Chains A and B, each alone.
Chain A
Amino acid sequence: EAQVTQNPRYLITVTGKKLTVTCSQNMNHEYMSWYRQDPGLGLRQIYYSMNVEVTDKGDVPEGYKVSRKEKRNFPLILESPSPNQTSLYFCASSPGVSMNTEAFFGQGTRLTVV
């Protein structure tokens, strides 16, 4: 089954404790991205990657890092999480880069930073 898989689905952590949210897709997609979803603000892009070893900032990259060592994986790293990073996070992938194609989303990761 074609899918985007995120882990964990739920995470509660403390301020300053490094964490990684994993994202994996099995569709051989080139393009992957991370979004955060907050009430009243909709979905905002954090980082995106056009291909292996190619990453770039989205609209709200502060406090986040990403890596793209393999095509299928695109982990989101919070080196020192803060309470304002409490949010619902979605990973997405799509086949193309400069193509008009739909994005496939993971199930989401609900992160709480206390």
Chain B
Amino acid sequence: GESVGLHLPTLSVQEGDNSIINCAYSNSASDYFIWYKQESGKGPQFIIDIRSNMDKRQGQRVTVLLNKTVKHLSLQIAATQPGDSAVYFCAENIDSNSGYALNFGKGTSLLVTP
């Protein structure tokens, strides 16, 4: 079946640098994508989303880019802080007649070093 995947399982960046986390998806029917952040011992938390009719969306210090041509999604975090250390998941929304499902990638661990 089709799946969402991540290019890098771990990413280490220095505090203050920008971080880029990548995600590849293969389901061309996906119309909505979400990035979640999961801190140790907690459930996933919504960061930012993007619909398939957009190619860029910005939030506070975060930007999501969507390239539908190559089915690629990325999360950019500006001026990375120690509090950004977490596992980041991309998820695709597969809408169907029976409801919708979030298909999650396996996650990328971001470690911010001082």
Q: Mark A91-105, 1 if CB is under 8 A from B, else 0.
A: 010000111101111
> Which of B31, B99, B105 interacts with A100 by CB under 8 Å?
B31
Q: Number of A residues contacting the other chain (C-beta, 8 Å)?
A: 28
- Count the B residues whose beta carbon is within 8 Å of the partner chain — how many? 25
Inter-chain contact B100/A97, CB cutoff 8 Å: yes
How far apart sit A48 and B96, CA to CA, in the bound complex (Å)? 13
Q: Using an 8 Å CB-CB cutoff, how does the interface string of A49-60 with B read, 1 for contact, 0 for none?
A: 010000010110
Q: Is the CB of B49 within 8 A of A106?
A: no
With A58-B101, A90-B43, A108-B43 as contacts: A100 and B32 at CB distance below 8 Å: yes
The answer to whether B104 has its CB under 8 Å from any CB of chain A is: yes
CA distance A33 to B99 in the complex (A): 11
Q: B46-88: which residues lie under 8 A (CB-CB) from chain A?
A: 46, 49, 51
Residue of A nearest to B5 (CB): A42
Q: List CB contacts (< 8 Å) of A2-48 with chain B.
A: 4, 31, 33, 35, 40-45, 48
Decide yes or no: A106 and B99 within 8 Å by CB, A42-B105, A42-B107, A43-B104 being known contacts: no
